[in-house]
Amino acid sequence: MPTNDPARDRYNPSSIGVTDFEPIKFGDLEVDELFWENAGTGNNPAFRKINENQALNTRTRLITNVSRTVNIYQKI
C-alpha cells in the first residue's frame, strides 16, 4: 500500500512571471511598442516607445530620452 509523505508529495510549479526576453536596438522598435531596460526580474518596469528618441515609463509616467543604438529587451 502506498504511503502518504507530505514532505515529499509537493507540487513544485515553475515560477510565475519568468519570461524570455529578446534583445533589440531601440531604433528597430516600432512606436507604441513595449520594452524593458534589462532582462532581469524585480524592479524592471515596462517602457513604451512614444517617438524615435523618447520612451514613457509605464509605472511613473515619466518620459525619458533614449539613444537609438541602446540595447533594450522585448518579451517573446
Domain count, the chain: 1
Considering the domain boundaries, does residue 53 fall inside one? Answer: yes
Cα–Cα–Cα angle for 17, 23, 27, rounded to 5 degrees: 125
Average pLDDT of the residues in 48-65: 96
Global confidence as pTM: 0.73
Considering the domain boundaries, does residue 36 fall inside one? Answer: yes
Considering the domain boundaries, does residue 14 fall inside one? Answer: no
Considering the domain boundaries, does residue 62 fall inside one? Answer: yes
Q: Which residues pair with 65 in a beta bridge?
A: 54
Instruction: Report d(CA 35, CA 21) in Å as an integer.
Output: 9
Considering the domain boundaries, does residue 63 fall inside one? Answer: yes
Considering the domain boundaries, does residue 45 fall inside one? Answer: yes
Task: Report how far apart the first and last C-alpha atoms of the chain are (Å, whole number).
Answer: 46
The cell for 72 is: 533594450
pLDDT tens, 16-54? 655 689 999 999 999 999 999 998 777 889 999 999 999
Task: For residue 69, give its domain range.
Answer: 21-75
